[in-house]
Structure 1
Amino acid sequence: MMKASICLFAVLVVALSKSDLLTGETKINAPVTSIDNDSSVPTHCDGTLIKEILLKQDMSQALLLTNFNVLQVMTDVQRLKKEIRHLNKENVDLRNQLTPLLNKSSDPREPIAFYAYFSNDFKSMPKGSTFVFDVVETNLGNGYNKATGIFTAPSSGLYAFTWTVQAAGKHVVQPINSNSQYGEINAALMQNGAVKGVIVADTETKYDMDTATAFVVLETKVGDQFQIAVSEWDGQGDIYSNNSNGRTSFSGFRVS
């Protein structure tokens, strides 16, 4: 009688080992109604059979737990992949922002100098306009931006700047038969939006020309921005920038 009870317990354990541990549902292929009438149930068993049944149960539970762990790992991997993509995008954005600064010289021993001018003659500009010198001959330190006309100091120090404007004295009629205007313009050196020096080129008679040049020395911090702008009134007429009449230009360099 004792052996039959042990065998019945063993059979129940095998049946329960087929439970779905993840859902909590128990699935038993067939109910045990009678030990004597079920030929698949041994009429006697020993310790070896019990150990084998318990081992199978442990292996089944271990397999289910392993599957659960694999699913958890896969979920974590997907989450980490998403975070990596986000970090990569942030890295690209930061690199794009820092590249212009990294390309600029920050070593005080490296020379910093630029020289740029207008490629052609041009019409005078309204107040507040920035001169965008589009031809760059020298740009040591990569501080000058020909797309904006702005020089950004790559490092702190003492800087010297000079700029030249050539006003044209040719007759300008706009519209035809209206009052004539000759070349006249003021040009200021701006440091972070503040005026640091001003020149005026003004022609008074037909076919006259007038050139103005300035030179200033300024204490500068890294990142300071410099540009030439029309500061006081709207300009008028034409401005020269050619090899025959002179170039309208902007240049600067670090002294120390």
Structure 2
Amino acid sequence: MLANRVTQLERTIGKEQQNSVQREFQSMNLEVKTDIPHPDFSKTDNKPRIQESELHAPDKDTNGSKLKTCDDRILTLERTVGMEIEEADASLPNESEISKIRRTKEKNSPSKVNINKKRLLSPVTTPYPSNTIQTIAFYAYMSKHTPTITIQYPLTFDVVKTNFGNGYHSTTGVFMVPESGVYVFTWTIRIGSNNYHATQLMVNTDELGIIYSYVGSGPDLGGTGIVVAHVDKGDDVYVRTHALWNSGVIYSDASGRSSFAGWRLF
């Protein structure tokens, strides 16, 4: 019976689906009343009744066709409700998912977090790779005083204390650059009373730096210059006196050394 199937559908899908069914019937200009008992088709009276056989005869008349359409829509709604129930059951977590959630909670427990923090704070024991850049550095000083120089003249620092990379040559006072890079160069010149000297730091024929020291009638004085520059492999770096501003002896003894040094930064 159509009434019984509608009643079962109403109980399954609830009030919201009931209203949807009511709207479906109303769209076909059929009146459905949910606040009164369903009619008993077994009773008869003088009013004409639609026989159940007519509900399945779509070609008999217009009302039969509409009821047939209603029956098909009810079947569709029943299938929809069944699919929604199956999807709801499928969305519930199974045993494996529940176990996974439990393991996740145990992993994030305070005791586990504290253990992980201790591991993160523990010292790293993995050795770092050794520095493969060649160390280049030199330091040399004059073993004795240099006599009065009044011309442009390369100075020789003959006592070599450091010479990593073997770039410095004590006989000429020239540092021949073993590898290109950025270097620091520094030199110190000591002069006595009533003397003055200007000394230059040279790269090949170019001046990179210059210092000027002057002493009147007072004690000895030392002047120091420092330069940071990029130089290329094979360049000659050295210290020389200036062509014009020179007078007197350049001192170097146990009281103070005139020296020349340099090293590569990178």
TM-score by length of structure 1 reads 0.51
Find out whether 1:204 has 2:204 as its counterpart.
no
User: Residue 114 in 1 paired to residue 138 in 2?
Assistant: yes
Moved more, 159-168 or 228-237: 228-237
Q: Distance in 2 between matches of 1:151 and 1:124?
A: 24
> Retained in 1: the 8 A contact 2:184–2:229?
yes
Q: Is the 8 A contact 1:118 1:249 kept in 2?
A: yes
Equivalent in the alignment of 2:200: 188
Match of 1:199, as an amino acid?
I
Query: 1:133-152 to 2 correspondence within 5 Å?
Result: 133-152=157-176
**Within the alignment, does 1:168 sit opposite 2:179 as a pair?**
no
Count of residue pairs the alignment pairs up: 136
- Which of the numbers 239, 252, 255 marks the counterpart of 2:262? 252
1:193-245 Cα shifts (integer Å, max 9, x gaps): 1111001121111x42221101110111100110101124152222211121x
- Give yes or no for the alignment of 1:230 onto 2:241: yes
* Aligned-partner Cα distance in 1 for 2:222–2:136: 27
Contact 1:167 1:240 in 2 (8 A): yes
Q: Aligned letter for 1:141?
A: G
In structure 2, how many angstroms separate the alpha carbons of the residues matched to 1:110 and 1:124? 39
SS at 2:199 equivalent: strand
The residue correspondences of 1:8-157 to structure 2 (distance < 5 A) are 109-157=133-181
Which structure 2 segments of 5+ residues have no match?
1-130
Aligned equivalents of 1:226, 1:233: Cα separation in 2: 21
2:183 to 152, 159, 163: 159
> In structure 2, do the counterparts of structure 1 residues 126 and 108 end up closer, same or farther at CA, with 3 Å as the change threshold?
farther
Q: What is the distance in 2 between the residues matched to 1:164 and 1:226?
A: 15
> Which secondary structure does the structure 1 equivalent of 2:242 belong to?
coil
Between Structure 1 and Structure 2, whose CA radius of gyration is higher? 2
Unaligned ranges ≥5, structure 1: 1-106, 170-181
Q: Assess if the C-alpha contact under 8 Å between 1:114 and 1:252 holds in 2.
A: yes
Residue 108 of structure 1: CA displacement?
6.4
Runs of 4+ in structure 1 over 4 Å off: none
Cα contact 2:149–2:249 (8 A) shared by 1:
no
Moved more, 227-236 or 148-157: 227-236
1:138 CA displacement: 0.5
Q: Distance in 1 between matches of 2:232 and 2:132?
A: 12
Q: What is the CA deviation profile of residues 61-113 of structure 1, one whole-angstrom value per residue up to 9, with x for unaligned ones?
A: xxxxxxxxxxxxxxxxxxxxxxxxxxxxxxxxxxxxxxxxxxxxxx9611000
Give the structure 2 partner of residue 34 of structure 1. Answer: none
Percent of aligned pairs sharing the same letter: 36
Contact persistence 1:124–1:183 (CA under 8 A): no
Residue pair 1:125, 1:234 contacting (<8 A) in 2 also: no
Cα distance in 1, alignment partners of residues 245 and 184 from structure 2: 27
TM-fit CA distance, 1:184? 1.2
In 2, the alpha carbon distance for the partners of 1:115 and 1:218 equals 17
| Higher relative contact order structure (alpha carbons within 8 Å, sequence separation ≥ 6) | 1
